[in-house]
Amino acid sequence: MNAPASPPSPYSAAAPNAKVESHTLSVLVDNEPGVLARVVGLFSGRGYNIESLTVAEVAHAEHLSRITILTSGAPETIDQIHHQLERLVPVHQVTDLTMSMRSLERELAMVKVKGRGEHRTFALQLAEAFRARIVDATTESFIFELTGKPHKIDEFIDLMRPIGLVEVSRTGVAAISRGPDPI
């Protein structure tokens, strides 16, 4: 007996040669209970993936928060996500920062590495090369704090694996448009 087929994902619905792109969306919303649940529900209900998610209040007097979402899919899928987010009631504005080409993205990570002897020395040298700060140290481990573009943090983590990577904590992408105008 064959297992029932799972529903198609929007990623597989694209043409076989469609390029999957990663996009950073900035969503300005009312700061009220349930808004994040509605946004996340939109993604889960349609089978979209959220690679990174950050939320913070950005205008206290106006009760506005910014949700920054890193997601991926075919260009048609990204457009669909954008339009569906715009239709949600507490959403004031959706901006695809990837398309504007005038944005900055950063992420914070804390990386715990254990090691002795040469491994310890090598971990310190790599941390210096990546401008990571030591925020905690014992005789057997370090915790490094690293801020940068997500792919740079990925590179640092990959280099720490063979040395003695213990665990990683990441904030998710924070992004903002460049220049004097708001998004």
- pLDDT range class, residue 30, cuts 50, 70, 90: very high
pLDDT at 6: 45
pLDDT at 180: 84
| Contact assessment for residue 146 and residue 159, using Cβ atoms and an 8 Å cutoff | no
Question: What does the pLDDT look like over 159-168, one tens digit per residue?
Answer: 999 999 999 9
Q: How far apart are CA 144 and CA 32, in angstroms?
A: 35
What domains, with CATH codes, occur in the chain?
A: 19-101 (3.30.70.260), 104-175 (3.30.70.1150)
Residue 115 neighbours by CB under 8 Å, 6+ apart = 122, 123, 140, 141, 163, 164
Of 134 and 101, which is predicted with more confidence? 134
| Contact assessment for residue 54 and residue 172, using Cβ atoms and an 8 Å cutoff | yes
Query: How far out from the chain centre does Cα 130 lie?
Result: 19
pTM for this structure?
Answer: 0.80
